[in-house]
Amino acid sequence: MSTNYYKTKESVEEYIHLAKDVNGGELIKKLKKYLHSNATLLEIGSGPGTDWRILNEDFKVTGSDSSKEFLSHLKSKNPNGTFIELDAITLNTPETFDGIYSNKVLHHLEDKELIDSIKRQFDIVNNDGIICHSFWKGEGSEVFKGMFVNYHIEAGLKELFESYFDILLLESYAEFEEGDSLLLIGKKK
């Protein structure tokens, strides 16, 4: 479901300010156990670019976002980086990658949209490719500040991903509170 929050300059600036002390460093440490350095990696929903900068230390990263505001921010802060406009559902790119990463992005998709995204991820990830995504943990969905948020539990994610990816790791972690988030790492079947 499309969300307008990330589309305006004001809300993008607000998000960058609110998220300034958060990053996916711990998730990326886990990803590095499964994906070799120098691998090509697509980041979906790079947003402020905090994780992109950490990923860029080890991988050949292509950053992406569906928000033009975030893309212009990403390009101006990282003039040597590669960034493309990409929707998480359609993933309409001719390129393929060794890995795909997102941190708190795919929860904006409804289940049906997430299934479409998973199928496209299968298409654009190379053989033995690795996916690594985080989600908010919980049940149901809500609209928060105009943003659609879809919560997931382990069993639901397993069911959605396991036709296309072997689940290598599926565990809860704390973003703000104990067990409020889930990390999934999978390998292309």
Ligand X SMILES: C[S@@+](CC[C@H](N)C(=O)[O-])C[C@H]1O[C@@H](n2cnc3c(N)ncnc32)[C@H](O)[C@@H]1O
Residue 135 binding ligand X, by CB under 6 A:
no
Cβ closest to ligand X, residue 20 vs residue 189: 20
Identify which range of 29-37, 83-91, 136-144, 162-170 contacts ligand X by CB under 6 A: 83-91
For the chain, the C-alpha Rg in angstroms (whole number) is 15
Cβ closest to ligand X, residue 7 vs residue 187: 7
Out of 73, 104, 120, 137, name the contact with ligand X by CB under 6 A: 104
Residue 105 binding ligand X, by CB under 6 A:
yes
Rounded Cα–Cα distance for residues 21 and 50 (Å):
9
Q: Residues 73-81: contacts with CB within 8 Å, 24+ apart?
A: 73/12, 73/16, 73/48, 73/49, 74/46, 74/49, 77/49, 78/49, 78/52, 78/53, 81/49, 81/52, 81/56
Out of 45, 99, 129, 186, name the contact with ligand X by CB under 6 A: 45
Out of 50, 62, 121, 181, name the contact with ligand X by CB under 6 A: 50
Residue 55 binding ligand X, by CB under 6 A:
no
Least Cβ distance, residue 75 to ligand X (angstroms): 14
Least Cβ distance, residue 54 to ligand X (angstroms): 10
Cα separation values, 148 from 45, 141, 151, Å: 15, 7, 10
Out of 11, 40, 67, 121, name the contact with ligand X by CB under 6 A: 67
Least Cβ distance, residue 91 to ligand X (angstroms): 9
Identify which range of 26-34, 60-68, 135-143, 156-164 contacts ligand X by CB under 6 A: 60-68
What is the helix (H) or strand (E) element at residue 132, kind and residue range?
strand 125-136
- Residue that the structure tokens 């809500």 belong to: 142
| Contacts with ligand X, residue ranges (CB under 6 A) | 3, 6, 19, 24, 44-45, 47-48, 50-51, 65-67, 70, 87-89, 103-105, 108
